[in-house]
């Protein structure tokens, strides 16, 4: 059984869809810096949980 879950978010710069694998055990409550798969701008990605629901927050780095 995989411990990761595929999730998608929109780039806060170019609005392009991006995909990421979220580790359901270790990524919750963490903030990561990822580059957009299209425009290569740095994105600050935060992973949160509300019960059994995972959510992503994608913002411009240093905004």
Rg (alpha carbons) of the chain, rounded to whole number: 12
CA distance 49 to 62: 23
Identify the domain containing residue 33 by its residue range.
4-60
pLDDT of residue 52: 81
Report how many domains make up the chain: 1
pLDDT, tens digit, 9 for 90 and up, residues 10-61: 999 999 999 999 998 889 899 999 999 999 999 999 999 988 888 999 999 8
State pTM to two decimals: 0.82
List Cβ neighbours of 25 (8 Å cut-off, separation of 6 or more): 3
CA distance 32 to 7: 14
């Amino acid at each position: 059984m995989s411990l990761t879950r595929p999730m998608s978010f929109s780039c806060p710069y170019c609005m392009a869809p991006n995909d990421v694998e979220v580790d359901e055990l270790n990524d919750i409550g963490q903030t990561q810096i990822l580059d957009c798969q299209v425009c290569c701008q740095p994105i600050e990605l935060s992973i949160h949980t509300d019960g059994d629901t995972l959510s992503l927050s994608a913002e411009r780095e240093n905004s």
